[in-house]
Structure 1
Amino acid sequence: MATQLARRAFLSLSVGTTTFFLSNKWLQPVSAKPTAFVMRSNQVQLHNGVTLNYVENQPSFPDSDTIIFLHGYTDSWRSFERNLPLLSNKFRILAIDQRGHGNSSRPSCCYTQADFAADIDAFMTAMKIEKATLVGHSMGGFIAHKVAVDYPQRVQRLVLIGAAPSAVKNPVLKELNDTVQALVEPIDPNFVREFQASTFYKPIPPAFLDTAVAESLKVPLMVWKQALAGLIVEDHAMRLDQIAAPTLILWGDRDDIVTLQEQQALQTQIPNATLKIYRETGHGLHVESPQRFVRDLYRFMRRSQSVVKHD
């Protein structure tokens, strides 16, 4: 798969022990005044023993709507580094490292969609979050709609980036799984770089790609294997019609992993779903088009606000 897919932010990031200052100066017009967005890093132990690392902003209001970002396979919260500086403090914003990823704990088992989804429910309990908008990219999208099926009371809105109803019959992921199951320690950094680069169609800042590679190399080989094996065998597509939350489906038409037909199936199966297609964009559309992604996210949240409040 890596050979099949291979084709082709810079964020000013000052890292302290617990605080990240993300400047979006380079994303703004020359005449715009630069802004700073502060994210604090922390960890929380869940009732199941898993410890999740996460970053969180300082919302302007105590009752702000909450947005939780769920990264993809072998990524971390830093997958959203090009988006976080563009977000508003009128929302409570959290981006997590899922189990086995980033700086979260690495239990020897288990890494199915059900396990990841249960972590989100437990995380929300630990953080005293009743409901949230879940934004999931790739594997994070599968986990997000799994949460919406298994824990519907938790999901206020759903945003799926480069996801699909199921990965069970996806030939690209099957080929990747065959490759990953054959890997041995240590994981070849060149393989990881090729894998990460293959998910983008538009050029991305070299520094962002370097970070993505470094975050993937943190992930133990057993997590690479278990998480992907779990992804391609678990299928809850027949339950997607149970999702009541307003849903935004985002897909790049140069995505080599999931297809337009899969996006249309998501739109058909989820009752209150809208599909937006990004032209000349790959699997990592939130990285390739960060400003447009944030605009679309905000528009979706505004338009669905009356539906959410009525519900």
Structure 2
Amino acid sequence: MESEVRNLVLGTGISVPCLIQGDARAQPLLLLHAWGESRRSFERMLPFLDNFRVYAPDLRGQGDADKPEDGYSLAEQAGDAAAILTVLKVRSAFVLGSSSGGYVAQQLAIMRPDLVAALVLVGSPVTLQGRAPFAAEVEALTDPVAEDWVRDSLSWFPLVQEVPTWYLQDRVSDGVSMPAHAWKRILAGFSDATPPTEAGAIQAPALILWGARDNLLPRWQQDALVERIDGAVLKVYPEAAHLVLWECPEQVAMDATEFLLSLG
């Protein structure tokens, strides 16, 4: 499938690369990656998304995007997502967010409901308020961020299913490419924010995908999302942990496709 990476300059002046794939006439699907990752985290899922016009950007401070000193509040991160769609001239899109990318997606749906046709939340939280269990390690980071530290940080999210070594190394490369201030301020932006579903009502249809062996986000968070998003559907993957996208990319793509195409 043909694809290109286009450099987008947002209204704030920051520059972000965006992978674009698929038929220009197909329904747009915006992919939002997790904290510490990049658009490349979706590589194993992309071959199974041929029903959509896919847009997968690197978000501020991560991947090959600009890494300014500020602009990392949850509202600003969602604002960047909105600006990406605006620059691409996309009036409304399906939005799939992985882990904290799903938190950004929820905030986007609150701030700009006109832009969000439906949500797919993959291992995503209902809240990130408070101090994360790994916050002290992040606060101690200095530049350059060490590869060994990034590799060790993967142990925060134990895997149930085997993930290719090359893919794990790519995620380490993502982490090394981030300056310490981006690691810290993105995490702070999540922990300081009012949870989106407490700030407003999400009107978009939503599919919630969750690994039953998630050590970070308990089942009650997923049940809360279902309760707070009218008509939301929860699907549990019994043999997956927090990083559902890493462990089950083909199944995530298939479930997302079935759900999104069912909306008409």
Query: Under a length normalisation based on structure 1, what TM-score does the superposition of the two structures give?
Result: 0.81
What is the distance in 2 between the residues matched to 1:160 and 1:58? 22
Q: What's the Cα RMSD here?
A: 1.3
SS in structure 1 of the partner of residue 103 of structure 2: helix
After superposition, give the CA deviation of every residue in 1:77-99 in whole Å (9 maximum; x if it has no partner): 011011001221x4211111000
**Do structure 1's residue 218 and structure 2's residue 177 form an aligned pair?**
yes
> How far 1:232 sits from its partner (Å)?
0.8
> What is the one-letter code of the residue matched to 1:174?
A
Indicate the residue corresponding to 1:269 in structure 2: 228
**1:224 alignment partner, SS class:** helix
Which stretch of the first structure deviates more once superposed, 105-114 or 147-156? 105-114
Question: What amino acid is the match of 2:34?
Answer: G
Other-structure match for 2:37: 75
* Cross-structure match for 2:107: 146
Amino acid at match of 1:194: D
Unaligned runs of 5+ residues in structure 2 are none
Q: Distance in 2 between matches of 1:302 and 1:237?
A: 25
Cα shift at 1:134: 0.5
The one-letter code matched in structure 1 to 2:231 is N
Which residues of 2 match residues 96-175 of structure 1 at below 5 A? 96-169=57-130, 174-175=132-133
Corresponding residue for residue 63 of structure 1: 25
| SS of equivalent to 1:231 | helix
Which one-letter code corresponds to 1:106 in the other structure?
K
Checking the alignment, whether the CA contact within 8 Å between 1:54 and 1:95 is kept in structure 2 is yes
Q: Name the CA distance, whole Å, in 2 between partners of 1:47 and 1:286.
A: 30
SS in structure 1 at match of 2:133: helix
- Deviation per CA, 1:195-240, whole angstroms, max 9, x where unpaired? 2254332121101000110011101110000000111110133135
Paired with 1:261 and 1:147, the residues of 2 have a C-alpha distance of: 23
Counterpart pick for 1:259 among 192, 202, 218: 218
Q: Secondary structure at the match of 1:98?
A: coil
- Partner Cα separation in structure 1 for residue 169 and residue 89 of structure 2: 35
Match runs of 1:296-307 below 5 Å: 296-305=255-264
Deviates more, 1:206-215 or 1:196-205: 196-205
1:164 Cα offset (Å): 1.7
Tell me the equivalent position of 2:154. Answer: 196
| Structure 1 unaligned blocks of 5 or more | 1-36, 306-311
Please state if 1:289 is matched with 2:253.
no
Give the conservation status (yes or no) of the 8 Å contact 1:83–1:287. Answer: no
Tell me which moved more, 230-239 or 213-222: 230-239
Select between 183-192 and 223-232 the one with higher mean Cα deviation.
183-192
Question: Who is 1:177 aligned against?
Answer: 135
* Match status 1:84 vs 2:46: yes
Aligned equivalents of 1:212 and 1:39: distance in 2? 21
Per-residue CA deviation, residues 265-308 of structure 1 (Å, 9 max, x unaligned), is 00001112001110120111122112211110111012222xxx
1-structure distance, mates of 2:190, 2:79: 15
Q: 2:206 aligns with which of 247, 256, 267?
A: 247
- Are 2:237 and 1:278 equivalent residues in the alignment? yes
Match of 1:187 among 138, 145, 153: 145
Which ranges of 4 or more aligned residues in structure 1 deviate by more than 3 Å?
none
- In the comparison of the two structures, how many residue pairs are matched? 262
Letter in 2 for 1:193: R
1 CA distance for matches of 2:245 and 2:61? 23
> Quick one: which amino acid aligns to residue 176 of structure 1?
F
TM-score, length basis structure 2: 0.95
Amino acid at match of 1:75: E
User: What's the CA shift string for 1:16-35, capped at 9, x where partnerless?
Assistant: xxxxxxxxxxxxxxxxxxxx
The percentage of aligned residue pairs carrying the same residue is 31
Indicate if the aligned counterparts of 2:145 and 2:178 stay in contact, CA closer than 8 A: no
- 2:17 is aligned with 1:53: yes
What is residue 188 of structure 2 aligned with on the other side? 229
1:6 equivalent in structure 2 = none
* Structure with max Cα Rg: 1
In structure 2, distance between residues paired with 1:196 and 1:110: 25
